[in-house]
Amino acid sequence: MPEYRAHLQVRLRTGVLDPAGQAVGHALGDLGFAARDVAVGKLLELTLEAASLEAADAEVRRMAAELLVNPVLEDYDLEIVPR
Amino acid sequence: MRADILVFPGSNCDIDTEIALREALPGWQVERQWHDGADLSESQFCVLPGGFAYGDYLRAGALAARSPAIAEVRRLIGRGGLVLGICNGFQVLVEAGILPGAFQANTVQHFVCRDVQLRVEGASSPFLADFAEGDVLTLPIAHQEGNYRLTLDEYRRLKDEGRIAFTYCGPQGETGETYNPNGSTAGVAGVLAEGGRVLGMMPHPERAAWPALGRKDGLGILAASFSPRLEGGKL
């Protein structure tokens, strides 16, 4: 079966308080930068085998639902590329 | 009667909890069990202790919540057993979906380790049998991610169902943001599952249950209405 590499960008949902993003934003301000709306998220990457790109996509979305992402607080973008 | 404490890689309050449970439940068999292969079939009471299970990797409590030991916890709950999640153990119960909500970093952006006051809310639970609504307890907190998030709807539902166990408060039981150490929704410090037999709380009752440490408010919670020393609801 073909191999795919999945990249999940996990971020806090809109409206969820992001204390880490705020702290980083303050630090950037202290350094004289004028960045706004700083957000801190995380990047998860994994390799999997699947019959097709669509099957790989569905499998990673199941992983996200069961473990990788907390839907109460987090949202994600998924990019999958053949290896 | 038997109480079990589940130990995950990174748990660090399990021995304190064992000592405190022996104090709270004289005559009980109290055991610590490694999560892998844990068997709760003989247990009446399981505690998920504080610490940093799996290093808080991914999200606090997320990996422990998917371990086979949590299937054992669900079976114990199904049999009507008692389950108490303390601090990281509370985070595990939330990640497992056994209790509602989610955790975020404290709004103050750093680890908070100090005594706090807690108001006992009017919930019905064996864990609160020693207390009356409005009682003020002093227990320590020690956490970085204790900001317990509930949607407004969830909070109202828990309140209506009598499932808010504790709220952070001042010395006289007064509530408000001044007394909220971590930004939790409405200052909620502990909640119950339906039926009141599962309690999750951020403060550490096991650190206030040993006479040498000078505080005993945690004993009544750990005794969970079982203690032979409970008379008229008081230890």
State the architecture of A3-82 in CATH terms.
Answer: 2-Layer Sandwich (3.30)
Strands B45-48 vs B82-86: parallel, antiparallel or unpaired: parallel
Neighbours of A41 (CB within 10 A): 16
pLDDT given at position A10: 97
Mean model confidence pLDDT for chain B: 93
pLDDT given at position B235: 42
Q: What is the mean pLDDT of residues B15-34?
A: 95
- Describe the strand order of the beta sheet including B188-192 as a list of residue ranges: B29-34, B2-7, B45-48, B82-86, B198-201, B188-192, B164-169, B112-120, B136-143
Taken in order of first residue, the domains within chain B and their CATH numbers are 2-223 (3.40.50.880)
- What separation in angstroms does the CA of B149 have from each of B4, B163, B187, B207? 28, 15, 10, 25
Measured between CA atoms, the residue of chain A closest to residue B67 is A67
Q: What is the mean pLDDT of residues B143-160?
A: 96
Count Cα neighbours of B99 within 13 Å in the Cβ-side half-sphere: 34
Tokens of B152: 């407004």
How many angstroms away from the CA of A18 is the closest CA of chain B? 9
Domain boundaries, chain A: 3-82
Judging contacts by C-beta atoms under 8 Å, the chain B residues touching residue A67 are: 58, 62, 66
pLDDT given at position B22: 94
pLDDT given at position B123: 82
Closest in B102, B105, B106 to A70, CB measured: B102
pLDDT given at position B211: 75
How many angstroms away from the CA of A72 is the closest CA of chain B? 7
pLDDT given at position B234: 45
Sign of the torsion formed by the C-alpha atoms of B177, A18, B146 and B12: negative
pLDDT given at position B227: 65
CB contact under 8 A, B104 and A17: yes
Q: What is the mean pLDDT of residues A39-46?
A: 96
B72-131 pLDDT, tens digit per residue, is 999 999 999 999 999 999 999 999 999 999 999 999 989 999 999 999 998 889 999 989
How many whole angstroms separate alpha carbon B179 and alpha carbon B155? Answer: 18
Closest CA to B1 of B214, B225, B230, B233: B225
Closest in B107, B149, B183 to A73, CB measured: B149
**C-alpha A48: how far from chain center:** 17
CB contact under 8 A, B183 and A17: yes
> Which position has the higher pLDDT, B210 or B82?
B82
CB B48 within 8 A of CB B85: yes
Judging contacts by C-beta atoms under 8 Å, the chain B residues touching residue A19 are: 104-107, 109, 147, 183
A45-49, B57-61, B119-123, B222-226, range with the lowest pLDDT? B222-226
Q: What is the mean pLDDT of residues B205-220?
A: 88
pLDDT given at position B147: 96
CB B48 within 8 A of CB B35: no
How many whole angstroms separate alpha carbon B223 and alpha carbon A54? Answer: 53
* pLDDT confidence tier of residue B228, bands split at 50, 70 and 90: low
CB contact under 8 A, B105 and A20: yes
The count of residues in chain B is: 235
pLDDT above 60 (res B169): yes
- Of chain A residues 15-74, which have a CB less than 8 A from chain B? 16-17, 19-20, 23, 66-68, 70, 72-73
| ipTM of predicted complex | 0.83
A22-40 pLDDT, tens digit per residue, is 889 999 999 999 999 999 9
How many helices and strands, by DSSP H and E, does chain A display?
2, 3
How many angstroms away from the CA of B182 is the closest CA of chain A? 11
Tokens of B18: 């064992």
